[in-house]
Amino acid sequence: MHRSFSETKFLCYKACVGAGIDVGRAEDIASSAVRIGAYQSEIFDFLPNLIRTTKTQPHILDVSRKVVDFGNVSVINDGPFFVDCLQSDLYRQINIQRIDSVLLLVGFCLHLAPELSLSLSLNKKVVARFFEYSLAADGEFLISNKADYVTLEMTDKIHDDLAELEPSVSLFINDKIWREIEDIAANTYVQETEQSRLVGAGAGLTDND
């Protein structure tokens, strides 16, 4: 079913909070998912499992060079951190051995760092380039989710073999997936009791309309 950007963003935000993610990160995840979802709506098929990912430990960084290598990473936990590293010019190239969603990684870049000119490579082949909310990519990127040997790099190089993609004006999300996201979001709801309504939950104990 086709969904609006605003309702999808709000539901994804609620689901992130329902999965135990802090409010700030939940907002970034929801906005990033909607941003990349405009190009590839299948990101929402993976979102329920992604936001259930266990929180990982902080990385120990080597700041003596501009290239850094990571092993197996979670995009929910590490995606915004990678963008921060590039924005601060701490690194210019990030190599990732394995990531659970390259789509959402690009979503984070588009949402959090539109001012950066970045390329994404899979197995040393550039499959996407993004700058100022625009995305150029090939077919391999659009069918990717989990991926090995990923490189995120700051670059001004133009890749003529990548096609400029047009974002959709709405999001197509499978009804089953939508309900699954709703189920996670429901963890934020307060069970309705007389006591909970007295402190503000629900519509109140009396109808004054």
Contact of 154 with 118, CB cutoff 8 Å: yes
pLDDT value at position 204? Answer: 43
CA 7 to chain CA centroid, Å, is 16
Q: For the chain, what percent of residues have pLDDT higher than 70?
A: 90
pLDDT value at position 154? Answer: 95
| Distance between CA atoms of residues 118 and 132, nearest Å | 10
Neighbours of 207 (CB within 10 A): 6
- Mean pLDDT of the residues in the chain: 89
pLDDT tens-digit series, residues 28-78: 999 999 999 999 999 999 999 999 987 777 788 888 899 999 999 999 999
The closest alpha carbon to 5, from 26, 23, 31, 28, belongs to 31
pLDDT value at position 201? Answer: 55
Q: What is the largest CA-CA distance in the chain?
A: 66
**Three-class DSSP labels, 68-119:** EEEEEECHHHHHHHHHHHHHCCCCCEEEEEEECCHHHHHHHHHHHCCCCCEE
**SS3 breakdown of the chain: % helix, strand, coil, rounded to 5?**
40, 20, 40
List of the chain residues with pLDDT < 50: 203-209
